[in-house]
Amino acid sequence: MSTESFDRVPAILADIRRFSVTARRVVDRGYEQFADPDNDDQRRIARSLIIDLSSAADRLPQVFRETHPEIDWKGLRAVRNFMAHDHDGTDEKILWQAIAVKFPRIVQLLTGD
């Protein structure tokens, strides 16, 4: 792996940490606000964060990804593609599970935070 590839890892992980802070805010507001049928702001934020997380993960060098086999890299990309292309088809309970449970777990595995 080139030095240039390694040099970008800290910046990408910093991005992922920032996404995690925003995800935590969405979760802290609670499921009731998240699921409000008259206000989809929190669901849109959650979708965006999942897309951003996947995009950041794709920028990580392959060698880095190989050191984290516990992360389903293909699954992360598949979820991103689904969210990006099927906004209305995403079940809100699955989206909540992704942002409240899966997202923090992936971030913890990647960053150790």
For the stretch 18-44, what's the b/e string if a residue is b when 16 or more beta carbons lie within 10 angstroms of its beta carbon?
ebbeebeebbeeeeeebeeeeeeebbe
Domain chopping of the chain, boundaries = 3-111
**Phi, psi dihedral angles at 96 (to 5 degrees):** -60, -45
Nearest partner of 49 among 80, 73, 88, 74, judged by Cα:
80
Confidence (pLDDT) at 101: 93
For the stretch 77-87, what's the b/e string if a residue is b when 16 or more beta carbons lie within 10 angstroms of its beta carbon?
eebbeebeeee
Q: Give 35-80 pLDDT, tens digit per residue.
A: 999 999 999 999 999 999 999 999 999 999 999 999 999 988 888 8
Q: Give 73-97 pLDDT, tens digit per residue.
A: 998 888 888 877 775 667 888 889 9
pTM over 0.75: yes
